[in-house]
Amino acid sequence: MSLGHGPLYVLPFDHRGSFQKGLFGVDQGEPLSAEQRRRIEDLKLLVYEGLEQALRQGASAKAAGVLVDEEFGAEVARRAKKAGLTLAMPAEKSGQDEFDFEYGAEYQAHIAAFAPDYVKVLVRYNPEGDLTLNARQEVKLAGLCQWLAGQPAGFLFELLVPATPAQMARVAGDKQAYAESLLPDLVVRAMAQLQAAGVEPDVWKIQGLETREDCERAAAQARAGGRERVFCIILGHGADDAQVTRWLQAAAGVAGYDGFAIGRTIWWQPVVDHQAGRIDRAEAVRQVADKYQQMVAVYEAGKQQPTGGR
């Protein structure tokens, strides 16, 4: 796939467990009622309608992306594809510590049925974590990468680096201290180890890093060894507006970063409020549209700053 096309501002709502548990109290793997399933599908359509409204209000269709799942978002995926928006779809089972394919050995047929622009995986991988677990994941991911090399879809890799107990002990249990002092190096090391194992994303979806220098290191690793067309985007991780804004400002303008994939920060509260009957559908759609445009504006403004963030 030809990449490096300019900024990519993805609205991800491929979440499955978050909708089930957060809205209906149904644990991952437990059965949903037909009405609960229909409701989740409709709420995902609401989020997509928010993006459609943002586009009508002037957001760039060329830069806009949709990340949605087949299970609850098949209609949305087809609409986004028909509208010519960048479409990404997940290959992983939701809510698992170890990567595995949502549809097992049939994953290739499911990808082919929707022909997304990107196949996305979410992977929890700590280079100082369980080495056997890491190796098992590497084998599956390298196999997916090899198959995708012959397909038109690009490979979008969401990397999460959850802290080990030993790492949390090093920072006295302080999550912010982990994010600032340990996470940046672990992200770069994880990327390098995955690349060495034959895992070759076209786009890295990276946890927000606090400084421009840390973003530069991650981008340099993404493009190391002749991978000049690979780029990074920032994931929101469900953080609040202030935190996500800091991450966007740190990365905006860094060579090798070119956008974001921010989901729950944009749409979770409008969805919850609408589900609870506090706001109507039109207001929920408006809030999603406005928040998406706000995040784009923050990133675009950050690119104009001489320092590109702190």
3-state secondary structure the chain: CCCCCCCEEEEECCCCHHHHHHHHCCCCCCCCCHHHHHHHHHHHHHHHHHHHHHHHCCCCCCCEEEECCHHHHHHHHHHHHHHCCEEEEECECCCCCCCCECCHHHHHHHHHHHCCCEEEEEEECCCCCCHHHHHHHHHHHHHHHHHHCCCCCEEEEEEECCCCHHHHHHCCCCHHHHHHHHHHHHHHHHHHHHHHCCCCCCEEEEECCCCHHHHHHHHHHHCCCCCCCCEEEEECCCCCHHHHHHHHHHHCCCCCEEEEECCHHHHHHHHHHHHCCCCCHHHHHHHHHHHHHHHHHHHHHHHHCCCCCC
Q: What is the CATH number of domain 8-304?
A: 3.20.20.70
> What pLDDT tens digit does each residue of the chain (310 aa) get?
334 467 999 999 999 988 999 999 998 878 999 999 999 999 999 999 999 999 999 999 999 999 999 999 999 999 999 999 999 999 999 889 999 999 999 999 999 999 999 999 999 999 999 999 999 999 999 999 999 999 999 999 999 999 999 999 999 999 999 999 999 999 999 999 999 999 999 999 999 999 999 999 999 999 999 999 999 999 999 899 999 999 999 999 999 999 999 999 999 999 999 999 999 999 999 999 999 999 999 999 999 875 543 3
| Per-domain residue ranges of the chain | 8-304
